[in-house]
Structure 1
């Protein structure tokens, strides 16, 4: 089940392509001081192999209906701004996890909130989910601000909810439901 491209005047959400790999590497490396501190997969020596591996995993997960990780691109689809996903889908509970990141040079332009809101709509209307969670490390104020901007409901601070740099950390848990 592939995800169709979704477009606004500000951005396009679409599956990654092999031709996006060099841009992915540049975006990750540019964003080590923001994205890199919260996303364990983003490391200083991220390279083409990492990008191609990730794109292949994204395609397989999407085909299997397990996760929908896509790129956030310029409206013409040529410039990679970041990524957004509904992953960790649990069909038995009809829920998924929403994640997002925007490259450092494109942050603070509303792209994360716009892409996240569009992905939530896809989760509810395209995937039929009845709950979407956002789990952000407690001190990740940027991610938490996006959750609040799109209307996610703050539920709790969950102790030892995420692993960062090999250590358990508390995380803010937010949720969204249809309607």
Structure 2
């Protein structure tokens, strides 16, 4: 389990299925805009399949997906994870979603903070990327608020509902590298 502020992150358990389905169905108008799996016909079977996939990926070390829970009430708030690992170069993608009734209450920021710390301290990665569709204003604000550095607008970087979409690429690096990269200058620079 990971903790950040008033939120806890932990792998999904079978007992989370009803709350997970409820959260997805509640959020089709918001989360579903960018994540096609969050549709009005989402079912317990869909959630069970996702949970099984998460467990298998965790065991292989190829993805680490967590549920986000309110620490005080254990209410299911959303999901987040580290995935799309590039083992050769030591980096991965960080993603998150928050159910509609809990949006703008700090859950996504807590997830970014806890997951990036896990990526650097436990997985020993050198970089975490947050890739945000160009028109996803809430996630753009969150990435900036998290301290991630905006690196570029990548053309056709994501596919949203089957349509290629430009996306901003943000990065986080371990604290010890932040200071170093601020002092490094290009060869030939004064």
Shorter-normalised TM-score: what interval?
over 0.9
Instruction: Please give the TM-score of this superposition, normalised by the length of structure 1.
Output: 0.94
Q: How does 1:88-99 map to 2 (within 5 A)?
A: 88-99=84-95
Q: Which has more radius of gyration?
A: 2
Instruction: Report SS of the residue matched to 1:16.
Output: coil
Identify the residue that residue 106 of structure 2 maps to in structure 1: 110
Q: Structure 2: where are the runs of 5+ without partners?
A: 176-190
Identify the residue that residue 14 of structure 2 maps to in structure 1: 18
CA distance in 2, matches of 1:148, 1:9: 19
Instruction: Please give the TM-score of this superposition, normalised by the length of structure 2.
Output: 0.89
Is residue 70–residue 76 contact of structure 2 (8 Å, CA) maintained in 1?
yes
Q: How many residues align?
A: 175
Identify the residue that residue 140 of structure 1 maps to in structure 2: 136
Identify the residue that residue 37 of structure 1 maps to in structure 2: 33
CA deviations on 1:96-151 (whole Å, 9 max, x unpaired) are 00001110000111111011111100011011110100001000011111111110
CA distance in 2, matches of 1:134, 1:174: 5
Aligned partner (choices 43, 48, 53) of residue 49 of structure 2: 53
CA distance in 1, matches of 2:153, 2:3: 34
1:72 equivalent to 2:64? Answer no
Is residue 12–residue 77 contact of structure 1 (8 Å, CA) maintained in 2?
no
Instruction: Report deviation, 1:76.
Output: 5.0
Instruction: Report deviation, 1:40.
Output: 2.0
Runs of 4+ aligned structure 1 residues displaced above 2 Å come to: none
Given the superposition, is the C-alpha separation of residues 98 and 9 from structure 1 closer, same or farther in structure 2, using an over 3 Å criterion? closer
Q: Structure 1: where are the runs of 5+ without partners?
A: none
Aligned partner (choices 120, 130, 149) of residue 124 of structure 1: 120
